Structure 1
């Protein structure tokens, strides 16, 4: 099921999730002047975000189980922050050059975003899509604590407790601290990703399947309840479509983890999968600033097409040319520093 140690289905899933989000931000908005049919399809693209969270739960499980807390921290840091620094800088410069009217970002806010401390400091994001990174950090912190206390492999216990407390908080807002230390709205998706990993590894399949089903129910409840945040005045039929798409996502992943062989083997998906993170970070305000600046000269639809291809090109350069250089370099430096401090990295 692997090609060069990469799970091709995950590369496909990553790219489709990122593409859905890009199309949602560019075309799935009521102000879009193009085809109504395009809007009616792309307005559901926000579902790419929970898709990402399921992938994250699965991928983190692949890398965390045999990691020390320090190794886990280093691997997550180099995967998350350096590319954020690059994309945040490009977006910040674009906002200044185009004088984007809907954002007022100063240097202090920009630096706070580089280290994701803007939310605790009650500052705005350089790009609003960065909110998902803070939710990811909460998940990483939980996994790090479990690794630190050497209970990460007690999956059925901590997954059950996490899901139970999240459901309890949804209906009672208790325990009061739970909403601060976890992503309550999206916990079900992270739990689903870990459960899918267990099924993939043929471990604790029964409890993992039960928790996966509960995760599906609670995630559908959340998505239906929050659809109006993404689709203004969402109708019952639109909420039903959201729940159905969520079902399709779960079925896709369950099919992926229970198959013995892959039917997707083209190496192009590896490249497209690699584009996902920088594309997600760079496309939104960078692209919208470009669209706003060029629309008076080129028209909205051509401007959107240009923003899309520029974002894809930048994502390709970052993922294929820059990341292979700076990620290993930073990882080596952090590992060396950790060893010098006597910390266990293995």
Structure 2
């Protein structure tokens, strides 16, 4: 087969995107985002291997053995988030300049994050004043450092335990920003995906901490798979995109072993996660995203799903750092209530707080920040003062 025949699919998609054939907002993808957040919350509330997490006499493996075992795989929700992010961020980048993309990300992520960090600091300060031990450091230096969203590189503990994933996302945004500087087209997106995976593999082979820090060796396959699925959604599937997605997914499942090893359960606390089960669960999620993006579920409409997607980010931020203390407070105040009802109250509080933050912060402060930053990209020249 001539080389030109192999490269022929590149011409058509690069100039003739497939008609959307459905709503601009992919409601099914929004639903999958909430599903991923629910999986992470299930892990933190029900699947954690930490002994006496809810206090002595409230052992999760005994109180809810099946739920505990299933929720023990909930950490895969983080991997699902990165997979969805590859799809959604590639969609968000299209037709935007690097500055416009940066504004959209800052306005979307920081107002909610700042608000949650400040709430955690206030709750921690109140606990100290009440003579109680705060679960996270809330001193002024730590709180200020956490406002940057990169406490780890600054040598600080994250006051919001899930913040480490935001640092991973930020580096992915940086890589996409570089692609935007070059110019985002179908061909360049495909080349970017293959190049990223190749360089990430080289970084792992060299055991290079520097390359791994920039190229996200553990998660590159997830992001690239998401990018390939978005290209299928935008331009239609073809052999090259299936090869890109397949190569990226094989990479992702292979390096998933590292994350499985991190979640090994101490002896006597139950069974450790199994790589084959983890790979199967994550592959099911991939199939769901394929149906929701380039597949038939892209036509699904539903305001409830869109609203669920809007609640995902604030719920993700508050469910561990603020929801779990509420559940523990309920258990302390009402010891006869039972573990599962108290957990339900903690999750319910997290959802309610997420709805309030979405309404007041994301739709309020976030929109103001986006408008002001957009105006700052092209400021009007100053008018000289008249004399």
Fold shared by both chains (TM-score > 0.5): yes
Q: Please, which moves more after superposition, 311-320 or 202-211?
A: 202-211
What is the rounded CA distance, in whole Å, between the counterparts of 2:330 and 2:103 in structure 1? 41
Deviation at 1:181, TM superposition (A): 1.5
8 Å contact kept, 1:88–1:282:
no
Equivalent residue for 1:223?
A: 256
Deviation at 1:294, TM superposition (A): 2.8
Deviations 1:271-314 (A, max 9, x none): 11111000000110212222333322224333212111110000
> Which segments of 5 or more consecutive residues in structure 2 lack a partner in the other structure?
1-20, 52-58, 382-387
What is the rounded CA distance, in whole Å, between the counterparts of 1:264 and 1:22 in structure 2? 26
What is the rounded CA distance, in whole Å, between the counterparts of 2:185 and 2:46 in structure 1? 41
Equivalent residue for 1:323?
A: 362
> Which segments of 5 or more consecutive residues in structure 1 lack a partner in the other structure?
none
Q: Secondary structure at the match of 2:195?
A: helix
8 Å contact kept, 2:311–2:355:
yes
Deviations 1:17-50 (A, max 9, x none): 0111111101112344321111011111111111
Deviation at 1:270, TM superposition (A): 1.2
8 Å contact kept, 1:100–1:289:
no
- Equivalences for residues 187-336 of structure 1 within 5 A: 187-202=220-235, 205-232=238-265, 238-260=274-296, 262=298, 264-299=300-335, 300-336=339-375
What is the rounded CA distance, in whole Å, between the counterparts of 2:303 and 2:124 in structure 1? 35
2:27 is aligned with 1:8: yes
Deviation at 1:253, TM superposition (A): 1.9
What is the rounded CA distance, in whole Å, between the counterparts of 1:241 and 1:26 in structure 2? 21
Equivalent residue for 2:211?
A: 178
Kindly report the root-mean-square deviation, in angstroms, between the aligned alpha carbons of the 2 structures: 2.2
Evaluate the alpha carbon distance shift between residue 243 and residue 261 of structure 1 in structure 2; reply closer, same or farther with a 3 A threshold: closer
- Equivalences for residues 115-134 of structure 1 within 5 A: 115-134=148-167
2:158 is aligned with 1:158: no
Q: Secondary structure at the match of 1:169?
A: helix
Equivalent residue for 1:91?
A: 120
Equivalent residue for 2:88?
A: 59
Deviation at 1:117, TM superposition (A): 3.5
Q: Please, which moves more after superposition, 104-113 or 188-197?
A: 104-113
8 Å contact kept, 2:315–2:350:
yes
Deviation at 1:172, TM superposition (A): 2.8
Deviation at 1:124, TM superposition (A): 0.9
What is the rounded CA distance, in whole Å, between the counterparts of 2:104 and 2:234 in structure 1? 22
Evaluate the alpha carbon distance shift between residue 115 and residue 341 of structure 1 in structure 2; reply closer, same or farther with a 3 A threshold: farther
Deviation at 1:60, TM superposition (A): 0.9
What is the rounded CA distance, in whole Å, between the counterparts of 2:332 and 2:236 in structure 1? 57
TM-score between both structures, scaled by the size of structure 2: 0.82
Equivalent residue for 2:101?
A: 72
TM-score between both structures, scaled by the size of structure 1: 0.91
8 Å contact kept, 2:107–2:370:
yes
What is the rounded CA distance, in whole Å, between the counterparts of 2:27 and 2:202 in structure 1? 36
Deviation at 1:158, TM superposition (A): 1.4
Evaluate the alpha carbon distance shift between residue 236 and residue 23 of structure 1 in structure 2; reply closer, same or farther with a 3 A threshold: closer
**Which structure has the greater CA radius of gyration?**
2
What is the rounded CA distance, in whole Å, between the counterparts of 2:174 and 2:272 in structure 1? 37
Deviation at 1:105, TM superposition (A): 2.6
Deviations 1:145-197 (A, max 9, x none): 221232565112111110111122223324x6311213221111111111100
What is the rounded CA distance, in whole Å, between the counterparts of 1:171 and 1:341 in structure 2? 51
What is the rounded CA distance, in whole Å, between the counterparts of 2:228 and 2:93 in structure 1? 14
